[in-house]
Amino acid sequence: MSSAEDDLYQQVVLEHKRAPRNFGHLAHPTHQARGTNPSCGDRIAVELELQGEQVRDVAFSGQGCAICMASTSMMTEAIKGRDVAHAQALQQHFRAVLTGEEDPDEAPLGKLVALAGVNRYPNRIKCALLGWHALMHAIAGQDGAATTETPGTGE
């Protein structure tokens, strides 16, 4: 990662930590899920208003490190107004980039590519994926909390 890319990564993380987008609660969520990262204490709740297969609105709340909050904030921006299939595909690409399975330059991540630098910090990948875990649980209508320590996920 070049110095310019590293600077962008740091700026994006700090900006979204200071002023997270879509932070708060929805008046009438149709789907919701919580996520926890037991290894560091991050806790995120994601609320969705789905209309058919479209994410009409999304919000999140909770506490987490800068990477967790930035990733979840950027996630909400990327999926709001889009369809569920787009959100699911984006989650798969984002996870693949962070785990080194996909080249960030070839992944259709949009602004989320700024977080590709997290892959240099393996112990922080779970932080960046926590909001996404909660999102996938919410979409699936699964009860209980998503966790970064789920057996069999390889994470």
SS3 (DSSP) at 33: strand
Task: Give the position of tokens 């590293």.
Answer: 6
| pLDDT in the model for residue 154 | 38
Task: Please check whether residue 148 is in contact with residue 39, taking contact to mean a CB–CB distance below 8 angstroms.
Answer: yes
- Tell me the pTM: 0.89
* Dist CA 8 CA 5 (whole Å): 5
pLDDT exceeds cutoff 50 at 151: no
Give the tens place of pLDDT for each residue, 39-87: 889 999 999 999 999 999 999 999 999 999 999 999 999 999 999 999 9
Q: 3-147, what's its fold?
A: Sufe protein. Chain: A (3.90.1010)
pLDDT exceeds cutoff 50 at 152: no
Choice between 1 and 45, residue whose per-residue pLDDT is larger: 45
Task: Please check whether residue 40 is in contact with residue 127, taking contact to mean a CB–CB distance below 8 angstroms.
Answer: yes
